[in-house]
Amino acid sequence: MASDAVKEFTDDNFDSDVLQADGAVLVDFWAPWCGPCRQIAPMIDELASDNPSVSVGKVNIDDNPGVAQRFGISSIPTLLLFKGGEPVESFVGVRPKTALQEAIDSASA
């Protein structure tokens, strides 16, 4: 299960919790049946714990197809980093934690 630091974003709360957020927001688009998504889950938890000033959350694309469609998510895992309501970085597939941390650092600067 995701750590308490990782939020659950849905079609209902995405605009308020991600697009209208003050700081950077890292969103993990995933599904329970996706092996690579489960593989990176501990890393997402670590990024959330390591970056308390950044909002980190997950969107289950099976339960929330609207958000996934809006952002053209065609393969998972896809991670989008938002700042000021706009996606500023996109990562598709399993990526090293260092690459994600560098993107978070630059968006938070």
Q: Which of 2, 34, 43, 92 is catalytic?
A: 34
Q: Which of 5, 18, 24, 37 is catalytic?
A: 37
d(CA 18, CA 23): 9
Per the annotation, the verdict on 34 as an active-site residue is: yes
Residue keyed to tokens 């980190």: 56
Q: Which residues of 19-46 are buried (b: 16+ CB within 10 A; e: fewer)?
A: eebeebbbbbbbeeebeebeebbebbbb
50 DSSP assignment: H
Per the annotation, the verdict on 37 as an active-site residue is: yes
d(CA 37, CA 84): 26
Task: Tell me the residue type at 78.
Answer: T
Residues forming the active site: 34, 37
